[in-house]
Amino acid sequence: MAAASMANGQCGSELFDHSRRRVALILGGNYRALGVVRSLGRQGIPVWVVKQDGHVLAGLSRYAERTLAWPEGDDTLKIGYLEELATKHSAERFVLMPTDDEGTKLISQNHDLLASKFVLTTPPWTSLEWAVNKRQMYQLAERLGIDQPRTWFPGSLEMLACFEPPFPVILKPATREVPNPLTIDKAWQAGDRPTLLTRFAEACRHMPAESIMVQELIPGGAEAQYSYAALCLEGKPLASLVARRTRQFPRDFGRFSTFVETVEETAVETSARKLLEAIRFTGLVEVEFKRDRRDGRPKLLDVNPRVWGWHSLGASAGVDFCHLLWKLKWLQPVPELQARGGVRWVRFAPDFFLAMGAIMKGELVLFDYLRGLRPPIETAIFALDDPIPALCEFPALFYLLCKRAFKRWKSRGSNRLSKVPTPRRVRAGQDSAVTAPHH
């Protein structure tokens, strides 16, 4: 219990104070957040949703008691918003649960400040930085003897020109930077040296060269992608599962999974547990691997120290991660649980198009696709007890795309105006004609 209390950043008397209503405050409105809202709401836990980036699905759930708007601005403004929210609603005791990288980093870096007003589910930055910075993550994995792809951190275009990596390689962000073309795409592939140098120079226009890494491309598709997901306390898994991320979008370097299935993979579990134990991690975490068909061994790719896209699979497999995290934060007993195999999760709309494309190319048989949709299966958005988000998915997506397109158009217009030279002031007696700028 002492360890759990320390993980909260709260003293025991506050945790056992029942005079204030306990409320889950979810940062995010997308399908990840929707899974959190349903997990807690089905247990009778009050849930408030703070919408971000135009995503609204989580706020449409019948289990969302209240929906708020996340402010646009810098971190100082957002921290001030959270502090004001906690002060204004002093009758509630909020458990703060981020659902994306930006929110996780914001809370972690302001852990001491927020811990006095919220029950936090995110570790402090000293415990989280190793997962956010891939250089530190791979260095730790190497010391632990965990297999990983060969990786280089050139630091400059000049140093990169001296490297002799085995092509093909990929460029990846070494840190979780603010969104830019490389972080959005997750990786850029280069099949030869000229392409590598060109793409590296392009990436340097969006982020520091020190934040860009070059990594060998592990052969194989999404069917070779595995994850170990767990709720940990001081490095010990309390609930866990291993899953194969069979399909993802985009296919090569997926931004999100579309079809996932629980499996048994001892090598994946062993490596992930070794990593989490070494840093005594507390909270929810997903550790990503890819099996290298050249030697049959899983190679460490990434660590997500927050809820991941398909976390709602856990509830159908006997491991309701978000509810177990809630219990842990309030010092309630959490039994050690292992998910059962053969349970599937699907995000229907994008997975359908991916599967049809694979069927047309002869990479997937229609019978196998349909067979994969048999029970037990969990869907990302549709739920019989909560149908509104699914009914509104496409209108909400259309609204989001239009909003982002308008922002891009407005940004381009502002940039064009900023480039127009300001006419110089004409002195009396001089020719008042202003010459148009040359293009």
The structure tokens listed for 141 are 């994995």
pLDDT at position 16 is: 54
* Same domain as 59, residue 88: yes
Tell me, what's the pLDDT at 2? 41
What tens digit of pLDDT does each residue of 351-368 get? 999 999 999 999 999 999
In a 13 Å sphere around the CA of 364, the CA atoms on its Cβ side amount to 22
pLDDT band for position 87 (cuts 50, 70, 90)? very high
In the 8-state DSSP scheme, what is residue 124?
A: -
Question: Is 129 contained in some domain?
Answer: no
Arithmetic mean of pLDDT, 59-75 = 96
Residue in 66, 92, 69 with CA at minimum distance from that of residue 81? 69
Same domain? For 273 and 384 the reply is: yes
- Shared domain for 209 and 269, answered yes or no, is no
Task: Name the domain boundary from 190, 216, 242.
Answer: 216
Q: Which position has the token pair 């931004």? A: 255
Q: Are 337 and 323 in contact (CB under 8 A)?
A: no
pTM of the model: 0.87
Are both 10 and 29 inside the same structural domain?
yes
**What region, left, alpha or beta, does residue 323 occupy, with left being phi > 0 and alpha being psi -120 to 50 degrees?**
alpha
Helices of type H across 205-332: 266-278, 313-316, 321-329
Helix (H, G, I), strand (E, B) or coil at 216: strand
Q: Are residues 350 and 275 in the same domain?
A: yes
Q: List the CATH number of the domain containing 326.
A: 3.30.470.20
> Hunting for tokens 């696709």 — which residue is that?
369
**Residue 133: CB atoms within 10 Å:** 15
Whether residues 270 and 363 fall in one domain? yes
* Domain boundary pick from 106, 123, 140: 123
| Cα–Cα distance, 344 to 224 (Å, whole number) | 16
155, 187 Cβ separation under 8 angstroms: no
Asked if 280 contacts 250 with a C-beta cutoff of 8 angstroms, the reply is no
Dist. CA 62–CA 60, nearest whole Å: 7
Give yes or no: residues 88 and 170 share one domain.
Answer: no
Say if 417 falls within a structural domain: no
Distance CA 126, CA 421 (A): 47
Q: Domain limits at 108?
A: 2-123
Shared domain for 208 and 276, answered yes or no, is no
- What does the pLDDT average to over 133-137? 93
Establish how many alpha carbons lie within 13 A of residue 30's alpha carbon, considering only the half-sphere containing its beta carbon.
16
- In this prediction, residue 4 has a pLDDT band, given cuts at 50, 70 and 90, of very low
Sign of CA dihedral 410, 415, 416, 418: positive
- Residue 97 tokens read as 């649960």
Same domain (yes/no): 245, 196: no
Residue 15 has pLDDT above 70, yes or no: no
Q: In this structure, is residue 277 part of a structural domain?
A: yes
pLDDT at residue 359, as a whole number: 96
Same domain flag for 211 and 229: no
Last residue of a domain, one of 168, 185, 216: 216
Q: Say if residue 376 is preceded by a cis peptide, omega within 30 of 0.
A: yes
pLDDT band at 411 (very low <50, low <70, confident <90, very high): low
Q: Is 143 helix (H, G, I), strand (E, B) or coil?
A: helix
Number of compact structural domains in the chain: 3
Asked whether residue 242 is domain-assigned, the answer is: yes
Q: Is residue 331 part of a domain?
A: yes
Residue with tokens 């289990």: 63
The reported pLDDT for the residue numbered 401 is 65
97, 79 in Cβ contact below 8 A? no
201 and 234 housed in the same domain? no
| 43, two tokens | 């247990």
Closest Cα partner for 177 from 201, 196, 205, 152? 205
Name the band, by pLDDT with cuts 50, 70 and 90, for residue 25. Answer: very high
- Token digits of residue 248: 């993802």
Assigned domain for 438 exists: no
Is the residue at 137 inside a domain?
no
**Residues 61 and 34 both lie in one domain:** yes
Which CATH number is 39's domain given? 3.40.50.720
Asked whether residue 81 carries a pLDDT value surpassing 50, the answer given is: yes
**Statement: residue 434 has pLDDT above 50:** no
% of the chain surpassing 70 pLDDT:
86
In a domain, 36, yes or no: yes
Token couple for 72: 């646009």
